Amino acid sequence: MRHTHGSIEVICGSMFSGKTDELIRRLIRATIARQKVQVFKPAIDVRYAVEKVTSHAGADFDAVPIERSAEIKSRLEPDTTVVGIDEAQFMDDGIIEVAQQLAERGVRVLVAGLDMDFRGEPFGPMPVLMSMAERVDKLHAICMVCGDEASRTQRLVNGKPARYDDPVVIVGASELYEARCRIHHEVPR
């Protein structure tokens, strides 16, 4: 499990697809392999715990909340060989350069985030991170309408689909969002 060169791995998909669980699984494996791990998350994500990445299923891992991606470089410890970044869709575009620089320095960079926003459109820096990555894993949830595989995140406002012109970033969990398949994902204009 030792890595000899840097890389970027992206774990993406809709909400409730298990992205953070998979990130935590990889972080735990790196820790077992005695690799120095540091994890960062956007400070905006305070759904479960401020200084942890936490999955909807309840798994968690210590993390440093940051306001800007540039903070990763200033808070990175010299012996760190694995960097985890959760909810990367909320990061500024500087995360692209930070991930690239870390990988070029020999760091294994694990990135988890939504690949699409509630509209079904590419979300923040995720598309670029996905294109630069050595590995991309797209996870799927279960559609809350039909039970098929879900690849989209449905935002709900008072139980109805959010409108296209609603704000893109609203942090929430099952009280605001559902996983949906392509057919049952609705975004009224």
- Which residues does the annotation mark as catalytic? 87
Spatial CB neighbours of 86, under 8 Å, sequence gap ≥ 6: 20, 23, 39, 40, 41, 45, 53, 63, 112, 113
Label residue 169 left, alpha or beta by phi (over 0 means left) and psi (-120 to 50 means alpha): beta
CA distance 173 to 16: 9
Phi, psi of 142 (to 5 degrees): -115, 130
User: Are 180 and 145 contacting, i.e. CB atoms less than 8 angstroms apart?
Assistant: yes
